[in-house]
Amino acid sequence: MRISPPTDALSRFGHALSDPTRARVLLELRGGPAYPSDLADSVGVSRQTMSNHLACLRGCGLVVAVPEGRRARYELSDERIGHALTDLITLVLVVDPDCCGGETQSDPSVLSTTAAPA
């Protein structure tokens, strides 16, 4: 185990957030600890897929598994991650659709507006 420098921590955070499923898992865990099966159900993926995403998030240092008998529950590794996520989701960004891959938001809970051509 090693402590990562600030730039490495930001890169890992960015990698974790670059996948919509992992981003949703992190947002779910802001509300408190959860079991993998419950996370899989709430995010809408298989348990195997959830296991893979949780392994990635553990490797990035963003979540920890807390053993409870034969099960493990997951939680954010530091409460500041939850605060950072809250700050990030309240940002309003003006984006260039041709930049950063030009992905479109498929989450219906996120409102999108586009300016009319000038």
CATH of the domain at 30: 1.10.10.10
**Residue 29 belongs to domain spanning:** 6-92
Burial class (CB in 10 A: 0-12, 13-18, 19+), 16: buried
Q: How many domains does the chain have?
A: 1
Tell me, yes or no, whether 10 lies in a domain: yes
47 domain residue, yes or no: yes
The verdict on residue 107 lying in a domain is no
Within a 10 A sphere around the Cβ of 32, how many other Cβ atoms? Answer: 10
Asked if residue 17 is part of any domain, the answer here is yes
Encode the chain (118 residues) as per-residue pLDDT tens digits.
677 787 888 898 899 999 999 999 999 999 999 999 999 999 999 999 999 999 999 999 999 999 999 999 999 999 999 999 999 999 888 888 888 765 555 444 443 333 334 3
Q: 99 lies in a domain?
A: no
Give pLDDT, residue 99: 83
Has residue 108 been placed in a domain? no
Comparing CA positions, the residue from 66, 85, 73, 90 lying closest to residue 17 is 85
Is position 79 within any domain?
A: yes
Coil, strand or helix: which one is 4? coil
Q: Is residue 81 assigned to a domain?
A: yes
